[in-house]
Amino acid sequence: MSLHHATAAEIGRGLAAREYSSVEVTRHFLERIERANPALNAFVTVTAERALADAQRADARIARGKGGLLTGVPLAHKDIFCTTGILTSCGSRMLANFVAPYDATVVERLDAAGMVLLGKTNMDEFAMGSSNETSHYGPVRNPWDPARVPGGSSGGSAAAVAARLAPVATGTDTGGSIRQPGALTGLTGFKPTYGRVSRYGMIAFASSLDQAGVLAQSAEDAALVLGAMAGHDARDSTSVDAPVPDYAAGLDRPVKGLKIGIIREFFGDGLEAETGAAVRAAIEAFRREGATVEELSLPNLPLSVPTYYVVAPAECSSNLSRFDGVRFGHRCRDPKDLMDLYRRSRGEGFGVEVKRRIMTGTYVLSAGYYDAYYLKAQKVRSLINADFRRAFARVDVLMGPTAPTPAFAIGAKTDDPILMYLNDIYTIGANLAGLPAVSVPCGLSGGLPVGLQIIGPHFAEERLLAAAHAWQRLTDWHRRMPQGWA
Ligand code: GLN
């Protein structure tokens, strides 16, 4: 077995058994990136020197017997996480000159675990998108079919792991940006409970929805990396002060007796037939393993897309006001006066989708429209929350598809924002309610990966990971690689 066919956990075990060194593993992945990245455009920055220095330190730590399972294992970070001394672009021209002066908590913690940083991955501009086509650095290609999108906004991380240019990568999920690209590239995409992972140093899009997580080859890898990045952080006031369970130790919980709810609203029009069939077959397999399955209705869930597209733009219009050409980021040339500096710096620095969101957000927050849009959306958000609460009084987890279709062609939806927004119809609910959710590969449609989504109550990460792991012991979908990258 080649090194890049191994999961992060398998590489960790190989390192601990001294089968190879972290420097060897790191060189192997750096070579793969050099070879394949021009075709995929998954990385914005490759940090080869830093990676080799990290790897040497990891090897020394392992030699002293002080390593953990992730020590010496390479990873890639989505370019939304601040990394000291390294370009942190957030996929935007606005930050194309921004070298972060500090590390995000997620970066700091995975660094402390001894992981090796291969580079920073491409993404939709400021994480706004479902296809990675809004990036200032150009679209990312899906390794399963380079004419198609990898999903977004964490599309660079997804493509990198799917083509095994990195064993594992971080992502962020505001409305589906870990789970949807995970589904479209055949990966395990894990979004934790809101507040489980610190948002410090993660460039803000919509602060009440943003959450960091993992794009991995398996539930085991997701459990290990999540365990290392989660936990309280005094620098993020919404970070929750609760102990982090040993996620990897809880993976073997049996499926028998698990109460599964199928979300009726997720199986209506708009769900592609083969995708629906693969998801139903997966749920049927859980039933055969001893789970109980009942269909539930969450009547307000179909309102999640319009609700999100009021709440998220409102928050982004506020968060992105800090990019003014004065303190950091892009500044226009020869401003005439202060207004000209603001106008042209923002006009040049932001792309079309980001501007659309800022304008929508400013509008829904303005006096006279606030009650009709923003306040109304917050009320609907409460109703969606209540739907989930009622459902979790009956069942342990909810299941359904992650995305309505497999990966679509590059350019297919760029002219129609609404069509693009509808891609997140099944993922956004979990963000609005702050719930943990995971997408696991469960089949193919027209040769392209399909994801099964499992949503749990707040802080049920262990339950979700155990269900995902059980599925991955029954099947080998997560082991399939796209052709041409072996
Ligand atoms: N696709 C959604 C959007 O465009 C979600 C993005 C995300 O989760 N960051 O806003």
Distance CA(8)–CA(435), nearest Å, equals: 26
Give mean pLDDT, residues 145-172: 98
> How confident is the prediction for the chain on average, in pLDDT?
97
The pTM of the full predicted model, rounded to 2 decimals, is 0.98
CA-proximal residue: ligand 1, atom 5 (nearest): 175
Is residue 3 over pLDDT 90? Answer: yes
State percent of the chain over pLDDT 70: 100
Confidence (pLDDT) at 486: 83
Confidence (pLDDT) at 320: 98
Is residue 363 over pLDDT 80? Answer: yes
Number of other residues whose CB lies within 10 A of the CB of residue 446: 12
Residues 5/42, Cβ–Cβ less than 8 Å: no
Spatial CB neighbours of 169, under 8 Å, sequence gap ≥ 6: 75, 76, 77, 78, 121, 154, 157, 158, 160, 161, 214, 215, 216
Pocket flag, ligand 1, residue 153 (CB < 6 Å): yes
Secondary element (H or E) of residue 169? strand 169-172
**pLDDT band of 1, cuts 50, 70, 90:** low
Confidence (pLDDT) at 419: 86
**Cis peptide preceding 318, ω within 30 of 0:** no
Q: Which residues are catalytic?
A: 78, 153, 177
Residues 478/472, Cβ–Cβ less than 8 Å: yes
Give mean pLDDT, residues 54-76: 97
Q: What is the CATH number of domain 3-252+460-479?
A: 3.90.1300.10
Pocket flag, ligand 1, residue 211 (CB < 6 Å): no
Distance CA(102)–CA(82), nearest Å, equals: 6
Pocket flag, ligand 1, residue 134 (CB < 6 Å): no
Going from N- to C-terminal start, the domains of the chain cover: 3-252+460-479
Distance CA(420)–CA(290), nearest Å, equals: 38
Is residue 116 over pLDDT 70? Answer: yes
Strands 116-121 and 43-46: antiparallel
Q: Distance from the CA of 83 to the center of ligand 1, in angstroms?
A: 22
**pLDDT band of 208, cuts 50, 70, 90:** very high
pLDDT in tens, 433-458: 999 999 999 999 999 999 999 999 99
Q: Distance from the CA of 79 to the center of ligand 1, in angstroms?
A: 15
pLDDT in tens, 167-183: 999 999 999 999 999 99
Residues 157/118, Cβ–Cβ less than 8 Å: no
Amino acid sitting at position 145: D
CA-proximal residue: ligand 1, atom 4 (nearest): 129
Pocket flag, ligand 1, residue 312 (CB < 6 Å): yes
